[in-house]
Amino acid sequence: MSDGAAQLSGSNAGEPDDTPIARAAETALRVLAGRVGDPLPRPGATRVLTVANQKGGVGKTTTTVNLAAALALQGAEVLVVDLDPQGNASTALGVEHHSEVPSVYDVLLEGRPLAEVVAPVEGIEGLWCAPATIDLAGAEIELVSLVARESRLQRALAEYDEWCATHRSVRLDYVLIDCPPSLGLLTVNALVAAPEVLIPIQCEYYALEGVGQLLRNIELVRAHLNPDLQVSTVLLTMYDGRTRLAAQVVDEVRAHFSETVLRTTIPRSVRISEAPSYGQTVMTYDPGSTGALSYLEAAREMALRGAGPDTAGVPA
C-alpha cells in the first residue's frame, strides 16, 4: 500500500481517517461504485413532489436533478418528470430530448403512456427521466381546449404506477416534477399531480419575492383541485457563508416557513453550475465536491423526514 493510500484508509491500522478530504474522497469512490452509504428507508408509498418556484434562477432544475440522483445513489427508485420546455433537467441527466424523442408533451397532449416515454439515466441505477422537448412550449395553449386539462399528468402518473406494479420488480419511491418558471397550466398539472411541493429559495436579496404568489396558487389548487396539496419541503440554495446577507436570508426563510425548511443548505458552487454542460449531475461530475455532499445530505434529510398520511402516495 502506498503512503497516500495508507493515509486515506487510516493513520493507524484499521482506523479510518476522518478528515473532510478523506470523507469527500470516500464519498466520491462510493458514488463511482454506484451506491453511497446505508440505503435510505423506503417511504410507505411513492412520494410525488413538485419542485416549483416561478422565480427564475433559484436552482429549481438543479435541485430536482441532484436530489433525484442523490436519492437514487442512496438506494431509492426515482423518476424525474421534466415539465420545462427548455428541457434542462433532461440535459443534466444526459437523456435525449430532441423533437423526435417521445416526451412528456406526448403524454399530456396525446395520451401516450408514460412508460413509453421514460428513459433510464446512464450511470445511476434506479434513476429514470421522462424528458421534455421544445414541443412543450406550445402546450400551455394547446391544453386550454382539452378535457380535464389540469389533471392529465396526475392520470398519467397513476397509470404509470400501475404499470410499474405489473412490469417492474420494485415500485418507485420518489417522483420529482421539475416545473417551468411560471404559474401556467404545466405548473398547475404538476401541483394537481403531487401531494407535496418542494420550494427551492436562493439565499440572495429578494429571496421571498414571488413566493407569496406561488403560495396563493397552491392554496387555489388545494381548494379546487387537490385537497391533499401542501408545502412539505423548503430548500435553501446558493448559500454563501462569507456574506452577512446569506445569513439574514436564511433566518428570514426559517422564520417564515419554520420546520418545513431543511437544515441542510446548498452552497454556491462552480461544480454544480458546470455539471449540466457535461450532461451530468454534480453527483457524478464531482462527487467529492461540497455541492454533491450537500445534496446527498439534503436528500437523506428529506427521506428521513418520511411522508405523513396526507403526503404519501400517487394520486388516483
Taking the model in full, what pTM does it have?
Answer: 0.86
Confidence of residue 34 (pLDDT cuts 50, 70, 90): low
- Comparison of pLDDT for 78 and 20, the residue scoring more: 78
Phi, psi of 208 (to 5 degrees): -90, 0
Looking at the chain, the whole-number percentage of residues with pLDDT higher than 70 is 85
Confidence of residue 55 (pLDDT cuts 50, 70, 90): confident
Q: Is the pLDDT of residue 4 over 50?
A: no
Q: Is the pLDDT of residue 313 over 50?
A: no
Q: What is the mean pLDDT of residues 232-257?
A: 92
Q: What is the mean pLDDT of residues 165-177?
A: 92
Confidence of residue 213 (pLDDT cuts 50, 70, 90): confident
Q: What is the mean pLDDT of residues 170-182?
A: 93
Q: What is the mean pLDDT of residues 229-236?
A: 96
Model confidence over 273-302: pLDDT tens digits? 999 999 999 999 999 999 999 999 999 999
Q: What pLDDT, on a 0 to 100 scale, did the predictor assign at position 114?
A: 96
CA–CA distance, 114 with 295 (Å, rounded to integer): 27
Q: What pLDDT, on a 0 to 100 scale, did the predictor assign at position 1?
A: 44
Q: What pLDDT, on a 0 to 100 scale, did the predictor assign at position 18?
A: 64
Q: What is the mean pLDDT of residues 246-264?
A: 93
Q: What is the mean pLDDT of residues 51-79?
A: 93
Q: What pLDDT, on a 0 to 100 scale, did the predictor assign at position 99?
A: 80
- Comparison of pLDDT for 34 and 92, the residue scoring more: 92
Q: Is the pLDDT of residue 124 over 60?
A: yes
Q: What is the mean pLDDT of residues 269-275?
A: 93
- Comparison of pLDDT for 27 and 70, the residue scoring more: 70
Q: What is the mean pLDDT of residues 210-216?
A: 88
CATH of the structural domain 44-304, one choice from 3.40.50.1100, 3.40.50.2300, 3.40.50.620, 3.40.50.300? 3.40.50.300
Output the average pLDDT for the chain: 86
